[in-house]
Amino acid sequence: MEYEALALTIAGSDSGGGAGIQADLKTFQTFNVFGMSVVTSVTSQNTQDVRSIEDIDAKIVGDQIDMIMEDMGCDAAKTGMVSNEEIIETIAKKVKEHNIKKLVVDPVMVSKSGARLLKKEAEKAMLLKLIPNAYLLTPNIPEAVLITGIPIKNKDDVKIAAEKIYELGAANVLIKGGHFEEDTVTDVLFDGDSFRSFSDKRIDSKNTHGTGCTLSSAITASLAKDLTLYDSIKIAKDFITRSLENAPHIGKGYGPLYHKTIPKDISAFDREAKDFDYWFSKNENVFQAEFLAEKELFPESENSLSIGVGSGLFAAKLGIKNGVEPSKEMAKLAEKRGINVEIGTAEQVPFASNKFDVVLLSTILSYVTDPLNALQEAHRVLKKGGHIVVSFLAREGSYTMLYDLARLMGKFDMERAPRYPYPIKFIKGASWVSFEQTDKLMHQVGFTDFEYMQTLTKHPKYTDEDVEKPQKGYKKGDYIVIKARKK
């Protein structure tokens, strides 16, 4: 197993374990990012109070950064508690020296218990030295007020404050709205051109210690993995909400979050939807062979549904009018092709029972968590006597063998692979199903009158040169289509 990226936290130590570098490192680990730390201060605190603070010598802070960057480097970094002017100036200098581009600055000023963590005389250094180096600044409402001097009483004030903070040099500003007493917590991002909002339900909990640290470290972890800023914030917001929901009851005051919450994944299909279409344009012969195999068994019907419709390329050519798709970016492409798309999953199809004459599951079984449940859902939405068409790359096929080999090796062997191989980022989440497994599950669900079609029996290297005609039955084809009927 390998970590997906490296992230650095430059922050204070929380002896209670709920905030500071402790919260940051726990979050990095949960996101499968290797965490490194530069300690700026040592605090004596628990869930109730901060008793004492000892700042680390600025030279040692600088040396810690040098040692990490000279050897391991980092894909993204964050700052938390940086309590005095000398430490702030040292961090700002080192960030420039080591060309740390993705720096998330969490302007930690006051603890949950009310203790001041940023010395008043260091505020100017924060504004003039550190904030201009920030790729993202993440103040809460009280911190935004301290930074700008603007009273913030509503969402319009939030936007004014965000614009003011942006003028200080931060590339992006995220003002957290948790201090507004509303049922929904809305954070506002300003990138210099436009505002974007991120909303989640408010969790009524006293266990909120380290919320800001955890949010900024979750964003940093996703940025380190090369996700977009929007997706990084979206994932972090969801992570915080569920970490608050599952927070343990530790201590007598403001308890910590649950840092082992599994982060929500933004799939490659959302991030790289256009790349998916590009692959089809470069592999038209492979696509044509696949399409011909589906078309051979697909009954003509306008009352049809494609589950996992993707970009809608196949569905549009087959005359399908409705689709289900978990990726919003893919859904947009399908809608441009004239398909009515509902956001949902194969395991939870957002349509009524007994609604469609034909349902298509095109390669989706390789990506679902529960293939049996997906087939049961397809059976549910079909009318009595309706047909299901399931198409997939069989686990035993040479195509999937090559893909799995490429995943292990980290690259494709171009002597054996197609000229334009299927992008590795789209197959990382795939779990190839076998012909026998799929056939057995379809019988188990209650389908009948089975027909089979296969294609792509040639060596993969040559599939981009010739359209291979589909063959009835199943013997050794890489691409399999199964048609069956609901009794």
Per the annotation, the verdict on 317 as an active-site residue is no
* CA dist 301 → 119, 336, 482 (Å): 71, 21, 17
Residue of 211, 214, 345, 438 with catalytic role: 211
Quick check: is 184 catalytic? no
Task: Reply yes or no on whether 208 is catalytic.
Answer: yes
Q: Which two tokens stand for residue 27?
A: 């979050």
List the catalytic residue out of 94, 138, 213, 397: 213
Q: How would DSSP label each residue in 125-178?
A: HIIIIIGGG-SEE--BHHHHHHHH-----SHHHHHHHHHHHHTTT-S-EEEB-T
Helix axes 328-336, 273-282, angle to 10 degrees: 50
Measured distance CA(280)–CA(269) in Å, rounded: 14
Active site residue 210: yes
User: Residue 173, Cβ neighbours under 10 Å: how many?
Assistant: 28
212 catalytically annotated: yes
Among the options 20, 80, 210, 477, which is catalytic?
Answer: 210
Which residue in the list 43, 208, 438, 463 is annotated as catalytic?
208
- Under a CB-based contact definition with an 8 Å cutoff, are residues 86 and 294 in contact? no
Catalytic residue, from 62, 212, 323, 386: name it: 212
What b/e sequence results for 185-198 when a residue is b if at least 16 CB atoms lie within 10 Å of its CB, and e otherwise? bbbbbbbeeeeeeb
| CA 171/CA 134 separation, integer angstroms | 6
Place of tokens 């010395």: 119
Phi, psi torsion values for 144, nearest 5 degrees: -65, -35
Known catalytic membership, residue 176: yes
What's the token pair of residue 264? 């929500």
Q: Distance (Å, rounded) from C-alpha 193 to C-alpha 459?
A: 51
Residue numbers annotated as active site: 176, 208, 210-213
